[in-house]
Structure 1
Amino acid sequence: MVSKLWYVDDLQKSNKSKALVRTLANVPAGKRIIWQEVRSGNTALELQARSYDLHELNTIEYQVLIGQQQIHQQLLRPGGVYALVIGPAENEVHTSRMFELTEPNSMSMLWLIPQYVVMTLGEVMFSVTGLEFSYSQAPPSLKSLLQACWLLTVAFGNVIVVIIAELKFFDSQANEFFLFAGLMFLDMLIFMWFALYYVSYDEVAAMHQRKLIKKRH
């Protein structure tokens, strides 16, 4: 056994898209365990033999050394949680086994591209038409003020997102996104209700009407 102490391991993934590693080594107390990057040869982590802490490492390939002896070599993947168990030396050779406690992330980051495309198209269509609406429907002396107020709503929206994210109403981020989608749907219903009773302001017609009034007077 590596230790006589039993504990519940932490299987939560890193929130930085890195790998989490715990080294459980049944080796003499004076030994030092080194996690070394295979490609660069740099030391990423150096541990005491009886250190069982969880460490966050970059997602590259490592070799594990005790002294000058290579014990294990492993490629760490994003989001994975690993436990490396090193057994006592037999004929001056240590045995090792890597346990994958939490599966690494399997979804490619490239799936973000279509999401950003849709978000960008939505932002362009909504932002441009919104600015055009606030400019065309505002009185001549208030056009700049109305456009500034329109842009200020973006700031208020960002504040709402920050507040909801920091209060952590949900354990799952997916539920948080569903909440944002529900708020947007409610916002759409409110805008639809306003649009039913809104009377559009025609600036050209208003200008002609002002000219006619001036001529009459």
Structure 2
Amino acid sequence: MNTEDLIQSLSSDVRPVRRYALGCRIGAGMIGGGLISLLLVAATLGVRLDLFEAMRGFAFWMKWTYAISLSILAIAATARLAQPEILPLPWLWLLCVPVLLLAGIGVGELATTPSELWMALWLGQSWMVCPWLVLGLSLPIFLGLLWSFRRLAPTRLRAAGATAGLAAGACAASIYCLHCPEASAIFVLTWYSLGIGLAAALGAIIGPRALRW
């Protein structure tokens, strides 16, 4: 059998892929994992009692916008890396934008706060547990993405694992906002980002093994 005949025989029964199959597959994994993380927050940590009041203020939307903007960019990168062909990611630098904007808000906070209160502003009341809670809440979402990848074909496994972990961590941080009472930008920039970074690092470590096909 020559090469052309072999290719023809292998491709004769291949079904066409639906146009939005990639997005649906990744979305299903993230939504499933996100619902589990949401239930974990409600059942173990508890939704803050003043949530509706907090949603009228700037601090809640600052945290939520930071987390959700990182997650959107990370999901887009994950979708690119889930495909076998090497697609460029020239817009990946946009991940720096929400970080820099939040840093600017944090500098403004420090400028208007007496220096003796800077440490309290930075550490808040939950700095020791915040990154670990974000990391823990990211695990169901990351597992959902691993399920999504079972029918996908990534070739850059470490990069795909890292972006999947980043997406899971950022989504987990947005869910954690429902519980977290902290209102400082410098707190969010440090401890939320640390939790998200730990999730990305975990994805980069696990990716080469868990995403192999």
- Higher RCO (CA-CA < 8 Å; seq separation 6+): 2
In terms of Rg, which structure is larger? Answer: 1
TM score, norm. by length of structure 1? 0.23
Structure with the higher strand share, 1 or 2: 1
Structure with the higher helix share, 1 or 2: 2
